[in-house]
Structures are given as structure tokens and as C-alpha cells.
Amino acid sequence: MNPIHGLLTLAYMPEVASDQAEASDPLMHFITGLSAFFFVLIIAVMVWFAFKYRRREPGQEATSQASHSNLLEVAWSLPPLIIVMVIFFVGLRGFVTMANPSANIIRVDVTAKKWTWGFSYPGYKLENHPELLLPKGVPVEVVIRSDDVLHSLFIPAFRTKKDAVPGQYNRVYFTPTRSGTFPIFCAEYCGTSHSTMLSRVIVYDTKEEWLKAVDDAARLPFKELPDELFEQWLAIGSAEQFDAFKEKVVALGGDWPDRVGKMVPPAVRGEKLSTQHGCKTCHSSDGSRLTGPTWKDLYQLERTFDNGSKAAADENYLRESILYPNRKIVATYGKGQMPQFQGVLNEREVDAIIAYIRTLKEE
Ligand code: CUA
């Protein structure tokens, strides 16, 4: 960012801490400057005209002097068109980077509920942490959902705002460019404590520092327990492994089963739910074809439907297919084969099953 933009940002914008902020601030300054310029120009011309064309003698009738002027019409059409197109394309470029993943991304799942934020780090066994922890210079994919009503994740220093919509997964991409601590707000009125639905993002200088912070946070409930138990927790990749872990925790006695034994990773919960609800009788996890498509490598796979349309099997598609299976039928599979789970599974359970399906994708 050049020094002039830096100074302007200092004057009326929050600090700059992400690639999005660096990309969008110059455009913001341009639009603000443009507005100020035309405001002054229009007011000045208006005052001048009011004076110049004032009524000079009592009883003077107003007469029209307006006639057609090609020059004038081109002058007020063409330059604004060019300016607006510049704004559009610079804005579009920012939107595209914000809406598209890049390589080596860190994923964070955000759950909004009245009136807290929960940040989960898939693959790091840190669930529902109250703060967003990120390393500097590494692209982040943030996937946002809501447990109840509309919320909006707003990080002013990143110039990032994304709604948490019930029944929908939204995602946004950015790269933090400065270490430090920055506030997070809820920017969608969500009831009594909307204004206290605050959190913060902590950006670490290096990925190592970040890994340590995530590890420390994940280790917290295990503080007084043997390291070996925490290592076992980190290695959990299936319901079976979780049950073995839980057995050890139960053997510890005291309130450990309550404190640690109930921390079920979402994917494990999803695996158990998919057994309970019979999903596995029709959806294999090893790639073989049963009544329904296999779940192996299904996540983000492009699907072709019986009407010829296509879509990636992202969270929104998987959720729809669980709750309303007949809306989209993958080509070569039969309609009406799967029972509808709307009213059977709640949003949290659907989310857990999706988390399980995600773990069945080979990286
Ligand atoms: Cu959550 Cu406002």
C-alpha cells in the first residue's frame, strides 16, 4: 500500500490487516474522493446558477432556454460510464479473490448462535473455540453457519463481512497480512445481546506459533491428564477410536467422563448418526456402488443430475440432499429411494454427518 493510501486509511478506516483490506481500501478512498469532488462541484455550480439566473426585475416571467446539446449529453454520459466501469472491475476483482480458494488453505468452521461465536479447526481437534486464531500470510477459508437466526461475521481490520444464515453454509476467503489482535463483531441484528456478540481474531507471526496456540487451546481440557491421552485424542479418526479413547477416560473416574468423554468430534458424531439412521446401508464409504452414491471422495465432487444440470457436492448440496433427497437426483440413481430427513435430523446433526463425509475424502 502506498503512503497516501496509508494516510487516508488512518484518517477514517480501521487498521489494515488482510489482503482484502489492502485491495479494497484504495478503491474506497477513490469512491470517497470522487463523492467529495462531485459534492463540492455540484453545490458550487448550483449556487453560481442561482445567482447568475436570478430574477432581475419584478414580474419577470421564466422562459425556457433549454435546447439540445450533443456535446453536453456525451459529457455527462461517457465519463461517468468509464468511472463506474473502473469501480465495477476493481470491485469485481476483489470479490473474486474473496469468493475463490487458493492453495495451502487453512479451513475454519464458524458457528454463530445467540450470542456467541464458535471457531472450529478441522484436522486440529479444536472445536468451538471462542476466538479466531490464524497465522499471518496463510490463506484462510472460513465456512459460516448459524444455529438459530441471522448473524454476520464482521472483521473490520480484514474488511470482511459474511452473513451466518440458518440452513445455509457461506464461505469467504482472505489472507491475514499483519499479526496482532483485531475485534470481531456481529453485524446483523440478532436479538437482545446482539451488541455483546463480540470476539477477536488473533493473528500469529508464523505458522509454528499458530500451531502452538491451537495445540495449547486443544490441550486445555487435558491439562491434568497424561500426555498420552491427549495424543490419543488427536489421533481419533473414527467412532471406534473414539470409543477406545472414551473407555480410558471412563476408567479415570471422577468428573473426567463428563469433562472430556463428552467432547465428541463432529465427524465421529456424524459417523455414529449415519449408522443409527441407516445411511450406511445405501451409501458405502469405500467407493462401491449401493442404492445411493458412495460417500468416499464425495465432498466437492462434481455431480451430474438426471436433468443434466451439474453442481459440486459442497456443504449446501449435501445438506439439501439429506433433508430433501428428491430435489436433486444424481444421474443413473433412482428417484424416491431415500427417505426425507427433514424433521428427523436437526441442523447440528446434519452438520455432523457432513463433517463425517468430508473426512472420507482423500486429500
Ligand atoms: Cu449475532 Cu447480531
DSSP states along 140-170: EEEEEEESSS-EEEEEGGGTEEEEE-BT--E
Q: What single-letter amino acid sits at 22?
A: E
- List phi, psi (to 5°) of 330: -65, 135
Ligand 1: centre distance to CA 50 (Å): 48
Judged against a pLDDT cut of 80, whether residue 85 lies above it is answered with yes
In this structure, the chain runs to a length of: 363
Judged against a pLDDT cut of 90, whether residue 102 lies above it is answered with no
| Interval 152-167 mean pLDDT | 94
Strands, sheet with 180-186, edge to edge from the N-terminal-most edge strand: 132-135, 199-204, 180-186, 151-155, 160-164
SS3 362: coil
Residue 186 Cβ < 6 Å to ligand 1: yes
Q: CA 167, CA 346: separation in Å to the nearest integer? A: 10
Q: CA 331, CA 197: separation in Å to the nearest integer? A: 44
Listed range (79-93, 173-187, 232-246) with the worst mean pLDDT: 232-246
SS3 352: helix
Residue 1's pLDDT band (cuts 50, 70, 90):
low
Residue 190 Cβ < 6 Å to ligand 1: yes
pLDDT, tens only, 116-135: 999 999 888 898 899 999 99
Given the C-alpha cell 447568475, which residue does it identify?
Answer: 52
Alpha-carbon dihedral angle through residues 95, 97, 99, 102, given to the nearest 10 degrees: 180
Q: CA 93, CA 74: separation in Å to the nearest integer? A: 28
Residue 110 Cβ < 6 Å to ligand 1: no
| Interval 221-248 mean pLDDT | 84
Residue 151 Cβ < 6 Å to ligand 1: yes
- Cell numbers given for 107: 479451513
Query: Which residues partner with 109 through β-bridges?
Result: 120, 143
Complete DSSP assignment for 60-108:
PPP-------HHHHHHHHHHHHHHHHHHHHHHHHHHHHHHS--SSPEEE
Ligand 1: centre distance to CA 115 (Å): 6
Q: In terms of pLDDT, which residue wins out, 145 or 225?
A: 145
What is the pLDDT at residue 184?
96
Region at 85 (left for phi over 0; alpha for psi -120 to 50; beta for the rest) = alpha
Ligand 1: centre distance to CA 189 (Å): 5
Q: CA 214, CA 359: separation in Å to the nearest integer? A: 20
pLDDT, tens only, 174-210: 999 999 999 999 999 999 999 999 999 999 999 999 9
CA 294 to mean position of chain CA atoms: 27
Given the C-alpha cell 461465536, which residue does it identify?
Answer: 117
Residue 213's pLDDT band (cuts 50, 70, 90):
very high
- List phi, psi (to 5°) of 117: -110, 140
Name the pTM for this structure.
0.83
Judged against a pLDDT cut of 80, whether residue 331 lies above it is answered with yes
- Of 347, 339, 349, which Cα lies nearest the Cα of 270? 349
The average confidence (pLDDT) of the chain is: 88
| Interval 94-117 mean pLDDT | 88
What is the pLDDT at residue 107?
92
- Of 263, 253, 184, 189, which Cα lies nearest the Cα of 219? 263
Ligand 1: centre distance to CA 170 (Å): 16
Type and span of the H or E element at 171: strand 170-174
Query: Which residues partner with 107 through β-bridges?
Result: 141
What is the pLDDT at residue 363?
67
Evaluate whether 203 touches 110 at the Cβ level (below 8 Å).
Answer: no
Residue 197 Cβ < 6 Å to ligand 1: yes
Q: How far is CA 24 from CA 88, 147, 180, 351, in A?
A: 12, 31, 20, 33
Q: In terms of pLDDT, which residue wins out, 122 or 162?
A: 162
Evaluate whether 355 touches 122 at the Cβ level (below 8 Å).
Answer: yes
Listed range (25-34, 65-74, 130-139, 187-196) with the worst mean pLDDT: 65-74
Residue 189 Cβ < 6 Å to ligand 1: yes
Residue 338's pLDDT band (cuts 50, 70, 90):
confident
